[in-house]
Amino acid sequence: MSTAFKEWALVCDALGRGSQSIIIRKGGIAEGRDGFRFKHDAFFLFPTFFHEQPARTKLPPGTALREEVPGEIRIDLFARVEWTQTVTDPAVLARLDPFHIWHPEVIGERFHYDAPPGVHLAVLRVERLSTPWIFPALPRYGGCRSWLELPEFPQGITRAPVLDDAAHAARVAAIREALAG
């Protein structure tokens, strides 16, 4: 089996363009008693459309949106977690604003959702698949949970980093600087 992380398709697209290298998450309804955590250090990015709200992002109006194909799942990206951090200071979130597409209000909602205040941050190295991995949508992929088990990854599909090493290193350094203040 292959592990996947559910994220808005718009965010997956930003990660795939290299314009974003972080995920900020509080947790979902179905995370269980232990709550959310980045429990895998590598995973496929599973684009979701149910909660997708372009108006809740900083994307310009008229931005082309990925179309959901009924009955089909399309995976284009793989991510490796460089490191994670719990953010409990709202001022730090403000400094992270240049590194993601969400409106600040959305990040604030995540920060204050449930106790204690805070969010989980993961800095990712994103890789694009050489060809999309397409498989049937099944009911087990639904629901408000972050982690999924997918079918076995097909042979012959390769991966390549979205950002080159220098661009990725510069992005990670800028994120660390923002976190440090």
- What is the H or E stretch that residue 111 is in? helix 104-112
42-48 vs 2-8, strand pairing mode: parallel
pLDDT in tens, 23-74: 999 865 555 556 677 889 999 999 998 666 788 899 888 777 788 899 999 9
pLDDT in tens, 83-123: 999 999 999 999 999 999 999 999 999 899 888 899 999 99
pLDDT of residue 30: 55
Cross-strand partners of 150: 2
- What is the H or E stretch that residue 129 is in? strand 119-136
- Contact (Cβ atoms closer than 8 angstroms) between residue 82 and residue 123: yes
- pTM of the predicted structure, to 2 decimals: 0.92
CA angle 141, 145, 149 (to 5 degrees): 45
Domain boundaries, the chain: 2-180
